[in-house]
Every structure is written in C-alpha cells, then in structure tokens.
C-alpha cells in the first residue's frame, strides 16, 4: 500500500518538475527525473546569483 502512495507522490513530483522545466525551456527539453532536478538546481543558482 505504501508503494502505491510513494509511486503516486513520485509521479506528482515528476509532473511538477516537468512543468517547471517546460516553462524554462519552452517544452523542448525531455529528460529523466535526475537530469531535470540538476537543470533546475543550476537554473536556480544562476537566478540567485543575478539578484
């Protein structure tokens, strides 16, 4: 039962991550969960350095 809940949570997280990545790259970028997380981390760091 907890596996189903965990899978649902992972799926929701993946969808939100993909949505953010699409908004950054205009939907041209499809990647794995880890690659998306890395891209968002780098983009966040760059944005914070500019401020």
**What is residue 28's predicted lDDT score, i.e. its pLDDT?**
57
Residues contacting residue 24 through CB under 8 Å, at least 6 positions apart:
39, 40, 43
Which segments of the chain does DSSP mark as H helices, in order? 2-25, 33-50
**What is residue 31's predicted lDDT score, i.e. its pLDDT?**
61
**What is residue 4's predicted lDDT score, i.e. its pLDDT?**
85
**What is residue 39's predicted lDDT score, i.e. its pLDDT?**
82
Classify residue 19 as exposed, middle or buried by CB count within 10 Å of its CB (0-12, 13-18, 19+): exposed
Q: How many CB atoms lie within 10 A of CB 48?
A: 8
**What is residue 41's predicted lDDT score, i.e. its pLDDT?**
87
Per-residue pLDDT of the chain (51 residues; tens, 9 = 90+): 788 888 888 888 888 888 877 777 765 555 667 777 888 888 888 888 866
**What is residue 13's predicted lDDT score, i.e. its pLDDT?**
87
Q: How far apart are CA 40 and CA 37, in angstroms?
A: 5
């Amino acid at each position: 039962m907890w596996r189903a809940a965990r899978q649902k949570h992972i799926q929701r997280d993946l969808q939100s991550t993909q949505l953010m990545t699409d908004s950054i790259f205009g939907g041209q970028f499809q990647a794995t969960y880890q690659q998306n997380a890395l891209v968002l981390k780098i983009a966040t760091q760059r944005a914070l350095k500019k401020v």
